[in-house]
Amino acid sequence: MIAPFGRRSVGVVERREVGAYVVIVVADPLGVEYAPGPGQFYMLAARAGWGAGDGERPFLPRACSVLDARDGSLSFMLEDIGPGTRRLCELEVGEEIWLTGPLGVGFRAPAGRAVVAAGGIGVAAVFALDRVLERPAVVLGFRDARHAAAASLFRDPGVATDDGSVGHQGLVTELLEAELDGGGEATVYACGPPGMLEAVRSVCARRGVAGQLALESPMACGFGACYGCVVATRDGYRRVCVDGPVFDAALLDAVA
Amino acid sequence: MIAPFGRRSVGVVERREVGAYVVIVVADPLGVEYAPGPGQFYMLAARAGWGAGDGERPFLPRACSVLDARDGSLSFMLEDIGPGTRRLCELEVGEEIWLTGPLGVGFRAPAGRAVVAAGGIGVAAVFALDRVLERPAVVLGFRDARHAAAASLFRDPGVATDDGSVGHQGLVTELLEAELDGGGEATVYACGPPGMLEAVRSVCARRGVAGQLALESPMACGFGACYGCVVATRDGYRRVCVDGPVFDAALLDAVA
Amino acid sequence: MVEFCGLRLAHRVINGSGTFDALAARRCFGDELIRSFPFAAFVSKTITLGPREGNPPPRLWETPAGMINSIGLPNRGLAGYLERDLPELMELGVPVITNVMGSTIEEFAELAGALAGEPGVAAIELNVSCPNVRTGLDIGADPRELGALVERVRPVFPRPVIVKLTPNTADVAAAAVAAEAAGADAVSLINTLRAMGIDPRGGRPWLGGRFGGLSGPAIRAVALAQVAAVAGRIEIPIVGMGGVSRGRDAADFLAAGATLVAVGTESFRDPAAGARIARELTEISSQNAG
Amino acid sequence: MVEFCGLRLAHRVINGSGTFDALAARRCFGDELIRSFPFAAFVSKTITLGPREGNPPPRLWETPAGMINSIGLPNRGLAGYLERDLPELMELGVPVITNVMGSTIEEFAELAGALAGEPGVAAIELNVSCPNVRTGLDIGADPRELGALVERVRPVFPRPVIVKLTPNTADVAAAAVAAEAAGADAVSLINTLRAMGIDPRGGRPWLGGRFGGLSGPAIRAVALAQVAAVAGRIEIPIVGMGGVSRGRDAADFLAAGATLVAVGTESFRDPAAGARIARELTEISSQNAG
Ligand SMILES: Cc1cc2nc3c(=O)[nH]c(=O)nc-3n(C[C@H](O)[C@H](O)[C@H](O)COP(=O)(O)OP(=O)(O)OC[C@H]3O[C@@H](n4cnc5c(N)ncnc54)[C@H](O)[C@@H]3O)c2cc1C
Ligand SMILES: Cc1cc2nc3c(=O)[nH]c(=O)nc-3n(C[C@H](O)[C@H](O)[C@H](O)COP(=O)(O)OP(=O)(O)OC[C@H]3O[C@@H](n4cnc5c(N)ncnc54)[C@H](O)[C@@H]3O)c2cc1C
Ligand SMILES: Cc1cc2nc3c(=O)[nH]c(=O)nc-3n(C[C@H](O)[C@H](O)[C@H](O)COP(=O)(O)O)c2cc1C
Ligand SMILES: Cc1cc2nc3c(=O)[nH]c(=O)nc-3n(C[C@H](O)[C@H](O)[C@H](O)COP(=O)(O)O)c2cc1C
Ligand code: FES
Ligand code: FES
């Protein structure tokens, strides 16, 4: 769960598209002591072409949840939403990237049964749970069918889409509520856009259910150095990179 | 001899190595009114990967003599001596570059017979003379055989190398003096490193022979905007990009 | 059309002083330069009373996302400018703003007085901020001295007087306030930041002038902060500049409080940058409106 | 070994205040952090008398070759620092330099006095230059006030006092001269340049604190100029910083007159940057010697 000190240069060994997303796999042959846990993340930067030219940015590395880790390789799932993620999405096999991690505090073992809820690219952060936990209930929300393609990575997910093109038309929190209606003590694991996480948080609060929310925040360093990634919690500002990214839902008044 | 206003994006259609140098060819289908003359240059910058990452530089475009122009294409010969020329040397077919030009005042028609002298990458600036002038005498100097490979571009050059691996062992100015000893009114056309140009200048001055020297200077703009590329002349500081790059040898007290 | 100090301009993008020699550009690009002149007004390089050769080379140093220049204000001097440059500059078809610098307040007044009689000079810009020359720094960094300078020049020149503030100061807004109080019609900022490059072989300063001025995208965020700080304190219009490379950057300067934006270094990378940026800015504005 | 104000350091590279939380880093990287600690001395983030929450997010804005931060000096306050941080910082195995800031001269004196009794604090650094907080700017930009501050603090703290100058001033050398005259043992510079980022959607300032400080390679050339300007005027040693990313940059700062260099932003891109830069610097030095 801790990281080797410093960044390391690793090679991209595979790249594939999963609907609207890009999965890249890098070779990172480290011992088990550096194996990432679910919900942890890495800081990534392409070695070449990281900024400048017509685009100017990126300058800083970008935080990325680890999708999967096995056989000396790590995989990441990316959504192109700006210059950094775009460059990472354009990586070709054979290119080198800078990598630091695994970083952050990931998901913790559940009390009772696990219900996993994720939206959009947030599915990357929870994917490992689907493999690690006994038999979690998984509900996923996407914009449309192109994004919902990522659901195929999971064993048996419930899917909701905004446009109804796949699964339930509506919000993933509706699937979550239905799942929780099933009863019994549960822990909710969630990652997704702020609006979705706030809905999950309020569902957990209303039902008195434990929730673990993987938050995002723009980061400069990823290892607690800059204090730039804070979010407001009941205990004051907390750094997403070292106090999170996974926070107890009860610690948050709101996800903004 | 004038340039279309502004930079344009052109595609690399060919890349080949000529000994230690790289020749890139770009498609630039413009009318004859924009055809470059011998000794003119262009400002080049790769559209992607121009600076940043571990290297930080380049930021500004780089000046490059036109090697050849025909059939809607331009070719350039490059020597990797820093981050900008390195990136240009690494260009692959299909990549786009920013191009402005042709720029600058090139070589002027000779009085009497023409003797062309060039050193190193300076051969790029005089190559067009070998095609345009009647039967110029051409003498070229290089470090070693790897660089002297560029002599193969010329019809019938005399060659000197520092290490004697090709042609005369010694300075290209020795070949130049021998050529001038041949007698008759002559104009010397020269391009090369500052030390060589200074030697050529002083040969011309001593013999009272007309000389046209293509100078280099680090440039920001290439079109007279920044006043950054000046060299000291008998008339004060002059901009290499618009008052040159080709200067009358008699205008210079020294090439530094 | 945009109104700026009574001038009617085709758009909001002009050039930064000393970063576009329209006469040299015309030699390079021919009359296409005039037909598609990239700027809504043309700002001359800094003109001094007597001619200046400028600094010894090397004059350029490249930095991450920027460059340092140590040009040293070479120019033909006032007489040469009036005789040889101004007539041709008037052919550009846009208002000409003449940037001037004196080494004393009286020199500034003399320059302004001489330009007052030239109807081709639509406005003057006082360079009190050039970091390459001692006086520039000194006058512009001290609000009191700056106020005295502007008060002296104001009555001498009957058309708009723009004060180009120095960025190398603790409180640029105080200088802007002083300029406004003394009667300036507008302020422009930022000039280059005092900077240095070191020769990798030998550790000596690289530039002939030792120090130089940093420009380009590297300084944009500093420029935006200074424009915003000034905009909060004065009513007269602001010409914002510093690293403007794209319409997005221009829009940021307008958001920070500028009325016009000036493009400097980006013209070196793209001679027609001014026109491109004006176009991109229009696109952004119409998107925001739509 | 390098000597700096009587401290013996393993090499010339330390961290910039507020850019490396060694305690958080130890949680991330385990004891490997201690075994290969990248800096020859550790500079704490700025400590104030009382605890501070810092500025509301967003606190970061990325720029060409740099970044803006508007962190706002969050810290546990003096008591929390002494009780919870200092003991663990002393396990790092390098001298600890504690950076402090007060909102008045008396607060600075109180902080210095409290740290005087802590032998684990090898030196203090006075942050008179933080652009995020009003006082920082004001005290450091006025040589007279800065002199008064240093004179007050000097007798209170028996070990080295470093003054971290503000770069947002017309004449940084004047401030350095004042600090030296008042008894400072060293100066450090540059702190971040006052800067701003604009939210592309809406044109509002992006940062929670509105303004922030620019750091990274973008400011390196400005930092070199300020170090050179200061080095020409004082005898006490200089800690140079601002965009140091490679050994080459560190060598440039030494050439400009610095005794030590500090690394800030580059540690965000490469947590072990300090060690790498120290190594690269050694290589450059031995090449020059050879
Ligand atoms: C713990 C964690 C895990 C993550 N996991 C993943 C993952 O698995 N896959 C994935 O795709 N993403 C993941 N992300 C999100 C990813 O890190 C961000 O999307 C990425 O940093 C965006 O960078 P960008 O350059 O693509 O876009 P940017 O443009 O940098 O970021 C977009 C946001 O920044 C704003 N912005 C615009 N300009 C600037 C500027 N100059 N400076 C600062 N902000 C600006 C935009 O308005 C927008 O809000 C994760 C984030 C965190 C914190
Ligand atoms: C008219 C003309 C025609 C030319 N024709 C050709 C040609 O046909 N082929 C060709 O290969 N080259 C040509 N050149 C030269 C070419 O433009 C330069 O070699 C190129 O600009 C170097 O850029 P670089 O990034 O590769 O190296 P740089 O490192 O930028 O340049 C090397 C020089 O700059 C110094 N330097 C180091 N750091 C910096 C810095 N930060 N800022 C500024 N200077 C620095 C170095 O010490 C060295 O002196 C021509 C130049 C001119 C003016
Ligand atoms: C090469 C060069 C020359 C300049 N000459 C002048 C000048 O003569 N007078 C002046 O007021 N500003 C001068 N400037 C400053 C610019 O007008 C402008 O304020 C500054 O470069 C910031 O804008 P930019 O980042 O877009 O270049 C010069 C800048 C550069 C780069
Ligand atoms: C995120 C961040 C936080 C900082 N916090 C402090 C601080 O608490 N006290 C201080 O004196 N300087 C602080 N600084 C300034 C740095 O110590 C340093 O002076 C500056 O960043 C320039 O160096 P760099 O370009 O290497 O980052 C901070 C800088 C950054 C980027
Ligand atoms: S990203 Fe730097 S402290 Fe979290
Ligand atoms: S390169 Fe700008 S004037 Fe010559």
- Cis peptide before D131, with omega less than 30 degrees from 0? no
Query: Strands B62-65 and B236-239, how do they pair?
Result: unpaired
Tell me how crowded residue B57 is: count the other CB atoms within 10 A of its CB. Answer: 18
A134 pLDDT band (50/70/90 cuts)? confident
A61, two tokens: 């590395």
d(CA D238, CA D38): 20
How far apart CA C43 and CA C254 sit, in angstroms, is: 19
Q: What ligand 4 atom has the least distance to the C-alpha of D60?
A: 1
Instruction: For residue A56, list chain C residues with Cβ-Cβ distance below 8 A.
Output: 65, 217, 245
* pLDDT tens figures, B31-61: 888 999 999 999 999 998 888 666 689 999 9
Q: Which atom of ligand 3 is found nearest the CA of C59?
A: 1
Measured CA distances, C288 to A55, C39, C251, C283, C284 (Å): 22, 23, 11, 9, 6
Nearest to C224 by CA among C246, C255, C195: C255
D174-197: pLDDT as tens digits: 999 999 999 999 999 999 999 999
Residue D27, pLDDT > 60, answer yes
Cα-based angle B176, B182, B186 (whole degrees, multiple of 5)? 70
pLDDT at residue number B131: 85
Cα separation, C54 vs D56, in Å, equals 48
Backbone angles phi, psi at A137, to 5 degrees: -80, 135
Report the distance separating Cα D230 and Cα D227, nearest Å.
5
A134 phi and psi angles, rounded to 5 deg: -55, -85
Q: Is B13 close to ligand 6, i.e. is its CB under 6 Å away?
A: no
Could you tell me which of A218, C190, C286, C234 has the C-alpha nearest to residue D199?
A218
Question: What is the reported pLDDT for C138?
Answer: 64
Which of the 8 DSSP states describes residue B152?
Answer: G
Q: Is the pTM of this model over 0.90?
A: yes
At residue D51, the 3 state secondary structure works out as coil
| pLDDT value for C137 | 52
Give the residue from chain B lying closest to D216, CA to CA. Answer: B56
What is the average per-residue pLDDT within D38-48?
A: 98
Instruction: Name C128's Cβ contacts closer than 8 Å, sequence gap at least 6.
Output: C101, C136, C139, C140, C146, C149, C163, C164, C165, C166
The one-letter code for the residue type at D233 is: R
Task: Say how far apart CA C22 and CA C44 lie, in whole Å.
Answer: 9
Which residue among B57, B87, B215 has the greatest number of ligand 2 atoms within 8 angstroms of its CB, and so is best to mutate? B57
Least confident stretch, A223-232, C8-17, C240-249, D164-173:
D164-173
Optimal mutation site among A56, A57, A59, A60, interface C, most CBs of chain C within 10 A: A56
How long a stretch of residues is chain A?
Answer: 256
Which tokens belong to D127? 């942050």
Nearest CA to D162 out of D3, D10, D43, D37 is that of: D43
Chain C residues with at least one Cβ partner in B under 8 Å: 18-21, 23-25, 27-30, 32-33, 36, 45, 53-54, 56-60, 62-67, 69, 71, 74, 216, 265, 267-272, 275-276
Beta carbons within 10 angstroms of residue D120's beta carbon? 13
Q: What is the mean pLDDT of residues A142-171?
A: 96
Beta D161-164 vs D121-127: how paired, if at all?
Answer: parallel
Q: What does the pLDDT look like over C58-93, one tens digit per residue?
A: 999 999 999 999 999 999 999 999 999 999 999 999
Q: Of A1, A70, A80, whose CA–CA distance to A38 is shortest?
A: A1
- Is the separation of the CB atoms in D263 and D274 below 8 Å? yes
Segments in B51-193 forming alpha helices (H): 83-89, 123-132, 145-148, 172-181
Burial annotation D71-85 (CB, 10 A radius, 16+ → b, else e): bbbbbbebeebbeeb
Question: Ligand 5 centre from A60 Cα, in Å?
Answer: 11
List the one residue out of D30, C74, B210 whose CA is nearest residue A6: D30
Query: Does residue D239 have a pLDDT over 90?
Result: yes
Catalytic residue among C130, C146, C189, C227: C130
Amino acid at A99: L
Q: With helix as H, strand as E and coil as C, how does chain A read? A: CCCCCCCEEEEEEEEEEECCEEEEEEECCCCHHHCCCCCCEEEEEECCCCCECCCECCCCCEEEECCEEECCEEEEEECCCCHHHHHHHCCCCCCEEEEEEEECECCCCCCCEEEEEEEHHHHHHHHHHHHHCCCCEEEEEECCHHHHHHHHHCCCCEEEECCCCCCEECCHHHHHHHHHHCCCCEEEEEECCHHHHHHHHHHHHHHCCEEEEECCCCCCCCCCCCCCCEEEECCEEEECCCCCEEEEHHHCCCCC
Q: Which of C18, C28, C59 sits opposite B223 (nearest CB)?
A: C28
Q: Count each helix (H run) and each strand (E run) in chain B, helices first.
A: 5, 16
Least confident of A107-116, A139-148, C72-81: A107-116
For chain B, 256 residues long, the average pLDDT of each consecutive 10-residue run is 94 97 95 93 94 79 96 96 95 97 93 91 95 90 97 95 95 95 90 97 95 97 98 97 97 94
C131 confidence band (pLDDT: 50, 70, 90): very low
Please measure the distance between the N-terminal and C-terminal CA atoms of chain D and give it in whole angstroms.
Answer: 19
Please tell me whether residue D91 adopts helix, strand or coil conformation.
helix
Report the mean per-residue pLDDT for chain C.
94
Tell me the shortest Cα–Cα distance from D54 to chain A, in angstroms: 8
Q: Is D18 in the pocket of ligand 4 (CB under 6 A)?
A: yes
Mention every residue, 6+ apart, whose C-beta is less than 8 A from residue D286.
none
Any ligand 2 atom below 6 A from CB of B82? yes
The DSSP bridge pattern shows strands B210-214 and B137-142 to be unpaired
Contact B128, B67 (CB under 8 A): yes
| Interface contacts C/D by beta carbons within 8 Å | 125
For residue C91, the cross-strand partners are none
| Neighbouring-strand partners of residue A190 | A117, A213
Using CB atoms and an 8 Å cut-off, which of residues 83-142 of chain C contact chain D? 137, 141
Least confident of A105-119, B65-79, C65-79, D89-103: A105-119
pLDDT, position C88 = 97
> DSSP state, D236?
S
Angstrom distances, CA of residue C184 to CA of A142, C44, C123: 57, 19, 11
Q: Give the ligand 4 atom nearest the CA of A228.
A: 1
Residues 6+ apart with CB under 8 A from B165: B144, B145, B148
**Residue B229 CA to ligand 6 centre (angstroms):** 5
CB C107 within 8 A of CB C49: yes
Residue with tokens 């999950």: A200
**Could you tell me which of A132, A80, A89, A112 has the C-alpha nearest to residue A186?**
A112
D126-152: average pLDDT: 76
Q: E strands, C197-269, where?
A: 212-215, 238-241, 260-263
How far apart are alpha carbons C246 and C243 in whole angstroms? 9
> Six-digit token pair at A153?
């990575």
CB-CB: which of C168, C198, C221 is closest to D196?
Answer: C221
**Token pair for B105:** 């005042």
Query: Rounded CA gap, A76 and D259, in Å?
Result: 43
More confident residue, A82 or B51: A82
- A54 confidence band (pLDDT: 50, 70, 90): low
pLDDT (0 to 100) of residue D132 = 38
Is pLDDT of D133 > 50? no
Q: Copy the structure tokens of residue C215.
A: 């420009």
Give the residue carrying structure tokens 């009373």.
Answer: C49
Cα of B234 vs centre of ligand 2, distance in Å, is: 25
Residues in chain B: 256
CA distance A45 to chain B (A): 9
The pLDDT assigned to D41 comes to 98
Q: Which pLDDT score is estimated for C134?
A: 45
Q: How far is the CA of B147 from the centre of ligand 2 (A)?
A: 18
Q: How far apart are CA A77 and CA A88, in angstroms?
A: 10
Residue B119, H or E segment: strand B113-119
Handedness of CA C106, C112, C116, C118 (dihedral sign): positive
Question: Cα of C17 to ligand 3 centre, how many Å?
Answer: 5
What confidence score (pLDDT) does residue A53 get?
A: 62
Residues A21 and A150: beta-carbon distance below 8 Å: yes
- B54 to chain D nearest CA, in Å? 9
